[in-house]
Amino acid sequence: MEVLMSNWSSVQSIPENYVLPPHKRTGKVTANSTGKEIPVIDFEKADCHDRDETIRQILKACQEIGLFQVVNHGVSKELMDDTMKLFKEFFSLPAEYKANFISKARDKGCILYTSSFVNHDDPNKKEIRYWRDCLVNKCNPLEDHLPFWPQTPTGYHEVVGTYSVEMRKFLMKVLDLISEGLGIEAGYFEGDLTREQLLSVNHHIPCPDPSVTLGHPEHRDPNLITAIHQCDVPGLQFFKDGQWIGVEPLPHAFVIIPGVQFRVISNGKFTSPKHRVVTHATEHRTTLGTFFIPSDVSTIEPAKSLVSPLSPLLYRSYVYRDFFNEWMKQVAEDDAVLDLYKIQD
Ligand SMILES: O=C(O)CCC(=O)C(=O)O
Ligand SMILES: [Fe+2]
């Protein structure tokens, strides 16, 4: 049985299988930039007179930077704090209780694992482990999954259930604003494209040498769109113009990351930024990621309204399950999977 990192008794030195090969190391861990250039968009304005301006900011951020942060998003600060506190408590529970949720089966309502979900079983390859534990809750429809969620800490179902409902409303609002801005028909993202919702909670303990480990390997999110609720400990970085840029933790903000499916649906107008998580020498770090994921059977293709003689079709349509199966095989080469569906000119 895996020993969860959150139950390690003390960490004096880094176990060998967590040490990255030299070319994968972060070296000097501070990112080259603090991420001040990442737009912070105030959603309060979208609800009143400034809707068009908010939409303009979102599109500019997605097209020029790749991601953005949102404040005044409508999810209450108390709920965000309560949910964060509850998950910190969850990770401090005894190993015996948490062991009930350890699994790598994708179809469970709640799964807990350590390092990464995919461990490539190639005996010739040295396994690299990542410095994290992760708890994944399926959230939609809530009543189907709630019975499989933990009962402890007290209030788990109520707090996390409310959080996931509020996050659904918020991310739907983000999708409405994006659709309006791109000129995609209203309601495009309702239904199959947002059928699955996961709440993925990452927990990283302090690491004696952040320069040789990673909390989360570099990756693009394979889904439609992600909202990350960071705690106040930095760690998230994204890659732009040849450098890693830190995403500054802002109190009660969400970081919005368009996933690979958005790149296809927007017919190449959006990127899906590559990102990673570095470890911290002295602090625990907990983050809550809400993921909208298309159902396995949904068809993904560029939105018809975004294809024109000036913007020719870039990808052929595919079924999400086929994409995801390929993705799970070769997670290290994110772009290679999308290349399978690229229309060659
Ligand atoms: O923990 C973070 O800040 C980001 C996590 C992430 O990128 C992911 O879960 O896909
Ligand atoms: Fe991610």
Provide the pLDDT for residue 123: 56
Cβ 197 vs Cβ 140: under 8 Å:
yes
Task: Report yes or no on 238 lying in a domain.
Answer: yes
- Which residue from 226, 250, 277 has its CB within 8 A of the most atoms of ligand 1, so it is best to mutate? 277
Q: Report d(CA 227, CA 345) in Å as an integer.
A: 34
User: pTM for the complete prediction?
Assistant: 0.95
CA 275, 265, 221: angle at the middle one, nearest 5?
A: 20
How far apart are the CA of 226 and the centre of ligand 1, in A?
A: 9
Tokens of 207: 């690491």
Q: What is the mean pLDDT of the chain?
A: 91
CA 113, 263, 190: angle at the middle one, nearest 5?
A: 80
Provide the pLDDT for residue 127: 77
Provide the pLDDT for residue 289: 98
In ligand 1, which atom is closest to the CA atom of 221? Answer: 10
Q: Report d(CA 311, CA 269) in Å as an integer.
A: 10
Task: Report yes or no on 3 lying in a domain.
Answer: no
How far apart are the CA of 50 and the centre of ligand 2, in A?
A: 30
Q: Tens of pLDDT along 314-330? A: 999 999 999 999 988 86
Q: Report d(CA 111, CA 150) in Å as an integer.
A: 10
How far apart are the CA of 49 and the centre of ligand 2, in A?
A: 33
In ligand 1, which atom is closest to the CA atom of 202? Answer: 1
How far apart are the CA of 308 and the centre of ligand 2, in A?
A: 31
pLDDT at 39 over 90: yes
The DSSP bridge pattern shows strands 68-71 and 40-42 to be parallel
Q: Is 222 helix (H, G, I), strand (E, B) or coil?
A: coil
Cis omega (within 30 of 0) on the bond before 15?
A: no
Task: Report yes or no on 2 lying in a domain.
Answer: no
User: Which domain covers residue 193, as residue numbers?
Assistant: 16-339
pLDDT at 253 over 80: yes
Cβ 201 vs Cβ 289: under 8 Å:
yes
Task: Report yes or no on 335 lying in a domain.
Answer: yes
Provide the pLDDT for residue 29: 47
Task: Report yes or no on 9 lying in a domain.
Answer: no
**Number of domains the chain is built from:** 1
Report which protein residue has its CA nearest ligand 1's atom 9.
289
Name the closest ligand to CA 289: 1
Q: Tens of pLDDT along 200-240? A: 999 999 999 999 999 999 999 999 999 999 999 999 999 99
Task: Report yes or no on 88 lying in a domain.
Answer: yes
- Which residue from 205, 287, 290, 293 has its CB within 8 A of the most atoms of ligand 1, so it is best to mutate? 287
Ligand 1 surroundings by CB, under 6 angstroms: 200, 202, 216, 221, 228, 230, 235-236, 275, 277, 287, 289
The percentage of the chain sitting over the pLDDT mark of 90, rounded to a whole number, equals: 79
Q: Report d(CA 260, CA 268) in Å as an integer.
A: 10
Q: Which of 292, 299, 343 is nearest to 321 (CA)?
A: 299
Task: Report yes or no on 139 lying in a domain.
Answer: yes
Phi, psi of 143 (to 5 degrees): -65, -25
pLDDT at 60 over 70: yes
- Which residue from 198, 218, 236 has its CB within 8 A of the most atoms of ligand 1, so it is best to mutate? 236
How far apart are the CA of 40 and the centre of ligand 1, in A?
A: 18
The percentage of the chain sitting over the pLDDT mark of 70, rounded to a whole number, equals: 92
Task: Report yes or no on 5 lying in a domain.
Answer: no
CATH at 52:
2.60.120.330
Cβ 133 vs Cβ 112: under 8 Å:
yes
Report which protein residue has its CA nearest ligand 1's atom 10.
221
Cis omega (within 30 of 0) on the bond before 153?
A: yes
How far apart are the CA of 322 and the centre of ligand 1, in A?
A: 23
Provide the pLDDT for residue 128: 85
Whether complex ipTM tops 0.90: yes
